[in-house]
Amino acid sequence: MGSTVLSLRMDGELLDRLRQHAAKRGMSVQDYVVRTLMRDDFDERFKAAVEETERLYGDAAEGVPPPPGSRGSVTPPLGSQEGCDAAGHVRPSAGIA
């Protein structure tokens, strides 16, 4: 993958804050900014993937009991029909907390 130059004009206070954040991590300002942009891009792509999954499979929270250990959670006995629909088919979200 090649690289390209991006030139930015920013206020001195912002550049000083970026220098401080980068220095805390032992990085150059350029590396810190690039890492931050990559993390933000990943967050956006991850969010889009979650939304697409919910669109395809419906709202995973519908009818699914709270995860084990959470308030009001009851662990179902072995052999129970938890995570299954009326026909006994396992939902895609069954067992995923």
pLDDT tens digits for range 11-51? 999 999 999 999 999 999 999 999 999 999 889 999 999 99
Query: How far apart are the C-alpha atoms of 88 and 41, rounded to whole Å?
Result: 40
Q: What is the pLDDT of residue 58?
A: 75
Instruction: Report phi then psi at 90, rounded to 5.
Output: -80, 130
pTM: 0.50
* DSSP track, 12-57: HHHHHHHHHHHHHTT--HHHHHHHHHHHHHHHHHHHHHHHHHHHHH
Tokens representing 17 are: 């804050």
pLDDT band (50, 70, 90) for residue 90: low
pLDDT band (50, 70, 90) for residue 55: confident
Q: Which of 56, 11, 18, 54 is nearest to 35 (CA)?
A: 18
